[in-house]
Structure 1
Amino acid sequence: MKLASLVNDIQYNENRPTIQVLMETDAGKEIRIAFKEGQVMKEHKTPFPIVVEIFEGSIEFGVNGETHQLKKGDLIGLEGGVPHDLKAVETSTVRLSLNKADSAKRVEGVVNQ
């Protein structure tokens, strides 16, 4: 059994979103991304399918040049290879579910672009 929390010990970076791996299982990885208002993750792709949950706040989620306004409780799933970007409309917490074969370091690389 593994336990994690989306609300405890949230850390924000002044210059870019903060990535934290909350849990890793045989099936995948759960990552928390903490955004301050206005912070972005530039356009990128993932080699594997992902699911993104807006746990708190509001995010402009761009997919193939089209922007979707996502708010607390919204989920979006993408297949691998789909270009997407994120911008925090307000301070937000995002849960990212990754395929086991994907890497948290890849996500950190996107944030550091």
Structure 2
Amino acid sequence: MKETENSQQSGNSLPRDSVGALITTDLVALALELKGEENWQKSGRGSRTIYKSEAMRILLNVMQAGAEIKPHQAPGPISVQVVEGSIRFNTETETVVLTKGQLLTLQEHVRHSVEALEEAAFLLTVSLLTSKR
């Protein structure tokens, strides 16, 4: 069995199409790093791309209580997984409260917004592969 070096990924460098590479990220440490940045103090939010390829993007987002992400839509299906705190996720027809450990998925091009009910961190995964219809 071939041994693979386990490289710690803090989010400072951006791996692109790392076929065969093992990338690990300490989400707790990265969330703390984001909360120490100027953007956190100014806007109550922070974000870092953990992984980016032609097919997918993974971002860690942190939000202070009461901070909002205004209505928008994604170019592909998304998943949102809360790793700390709680958020309210809204579409035009539904609202759901997500807490630590919960995950939701949403189809592409659905307008949505996010509000932090308390200090929160969540992983956002966006699939950029579109099906031909």
Deviation track 1:31-63 (CA, whole Å, cap 9, x = no partner) reads 100011111000110111000001110001101
How many residue pairs match? The answer is 101
**Between structures 1 and 2, the one with greater helix share:** 2
Listed as ranges, the gaps of 5+ residues in structure 2 are 1-21
Quick one: distance in 2 between partners of 1:94 and 1:81? 20
Deviates more, 1:34-43 or 1:5-14: 5-14
Is 1:2–2:30 an aligned residue pair?
Answer: no
Matches within 5 A, 1:1-113: 1-10=22-31, 11-12=34-35, 13-14=40-41, 15-24=43-52, 27-100=55-128
Please report the RMSD computed on the Cα atoms of aligned residues, expressed in angstroms.
1.7
Quick one: distance in 2 between partners of 1:78 and 1:97? 10
Quick one: distance in 2 between partners of 1:83 and 1:26? 22
Quick one: distance in 1 between partners of 2:89 and 2:107? 15
Higher gyration radius (CA): 2
Q: Percent identity?
A: 27
Using structure 1 for the length normalisation, give the TM-score. 0.80
